[in-house]
Chain A
Amino acid sequence: MNALLDGLAALGRGAFAACRFAGALTLFALAGVSHLLRPPFHLRAFLRAFVEFAYFSLPVVALTAVFTGMVLALQSSTGLSRFSAESAMPNLVVLSITRELGPVLAGLMVAGRVGAAMAAEIGTMRVTDQIDALTTLSTNPMKYLVAPRLLAGLLALPLLVLVADILGVLGGFIIATVSLGFNRAIYLENTFNYMTTQDVVSGLTKAAVFGFVIALLGCYHGYRSRGGAQGVGAATTSAVVGASILILAFDYVLTELFFAR
């Protein structure tokens, strides 16, 4: 009986903590977004965050996309050949990449790279009083540090995913034509004939949400970090883990919204 009650109490505490986290995160996001709508705007801070987010993530995202496209082609060719349906392969590759694997894998890779870096940078600024210093210099840290990063995440990840879509399809194309003996023209024709605008748009929308989530978690955990280098390390871990889980959860929700009817 007692064990049962303890278990229930632990469950309740967990649920309570989760709700509190969700509430705090939402308030933080609203505060950040509200600063995007009111001047002054910190254009330089935005550009720096955007370049950091988009440009420096390109190599990681590009490699991930190419290899994913290649593996996808290999796997689906062996799978589809059992049903003599190899001709569906170009279509399968492009759908998987644009709808699902492009945004999710790019999101997870960038969460590890950029989300961690944001949490570490803002966390270090917190524990070394730089955030307090901003306030004493008439600068709102939410406006200067958080808002530009949220906007950068929102805009940069769709761009990255667009690149990932192209490179992912290219990866599949290379494997199909070089080692599986597909005809190049027919492969490309099959790719583009069956691809719809909605496939790409849904993927890019996911990317915008994921990019925002990555920046949000990075900023949130950095902003609230305490207690020196150890606190910054913990903030970094929380940012990456939190963003990764939220990406997968939002992926499900958005897929429901887009495709289930």
Chain B
Amino acid sequence: MSGATPKIRLRGLRKAFGAKQVLDGVDLDVPSGTSMVVIGGSGSGKSVLIKCILGLIEPDEGTIEIDGRDVMRLPRTERTALRAEIGMLFQNGALFDSLPVWENVAFGLMARRNVARGAARTHAEGVLAQVGLAASVGGLWPAELSGGMQKRVGLARAIAAQPAILFFDEPTTGLDPIMGAVIDGLIVDCVKRLGSTAVAITHDMASARRIGDAAAMLHGGRIVWSGPAARLMDSGNPLVDQFTHGRREGPIQMALRG
């Protein structure tokens, strides 16, 4: 396992917004076929990290390799082709509210291939079924859906093109615990079915243990711990321990004061 090229390899990733150093040398390997959860406090730069890997934010320094290829050095056409291999579930869904649900789900398909709208809708309804939504939902508008349904539609849109890599940004935030468990279940099912490599961001510990094989903690702009997701609750790392157990006292608070 150790010799294989990781699906995603980050080295020395740095990104600052103005004077604020959000990422300060992130090193991370995500082996192929692994579901990695990244935990970390609000505002610790988890979303920025994912957006860097997606190419939505240009990092100041560092390398991002996917399948061993340096993404930022790739020519534009190959970068675009690589994008088609990545699905993303955004933190707040980011559904296109000017398009009906089915067009949201089929959007990537219609953008990449010249698919007739009828066929695209049929395909979208098939994907909606995979996330437990009836075909009739396809005709609704995003604003007509509950939060849980919006997450499902966002998930459907992310998996529609059967991507090799999936990103989930706080998939259960804002949902009740039961709906959160349902969405986690769907995520695990989808990732298994597609055989994808997944990176999920969360600060919901129950969710982290349900989704993840491996886990890493982002703090102070760096990965301060990584290991099996099963070890999250007894990692032996004081930063992780404080975070996963939700303690008020500990090194993280001291870091905030300092």
Contact = CB atoms under 8 A, between A and B. Distances in A.
B83 interface: yes
A129 B54 CA distance: 13
Contact of A121 (B87, B98, B112): B98
Contacts of A121: 98
A135 B111 contact: no
B91 A129 contact: yes
Nearest to B117: A44
Contacts of A130: 94-97
A129 B90 CA distance: 7
B106 to A, nearest CB: 10
A48 B54 CA distance: 29
Task: Sort chain B's interface into a size bin.
Answer: 20 to 34
Interface residues of A, number: 14
Chain A binding surface, main DSSP class: helix
Interface in B58-85: 80, 83-84
A230 B178 CA distance: 34
A121 B84 CA distance: 26
A132 interface: yes
Interface in A112-129: 121, 125, 128-129
Interface in B90-115: 90-92, 94-98, 107-108, 111-112
Contacts of A132: 51, 54, 56, 90, 94
B199 interface: no
B107 A137 contact: yes
A2 interface: no
A133 interface: yes
Q: Which 5 pairs from chain A and chain B are nearest by CB?
A: A129-B94, A137-B108, A133-B94, A136-B88, A139-B111
Interface of A: 48, 121, 125, 128-130, 132-139
Given A129-B90, A129-B94, 9 more contacts: A125-B96, A128-B94, A129-B91, A129-B92, A130-B95, A130-B97, A132-B51, A136-B83, A139-B107
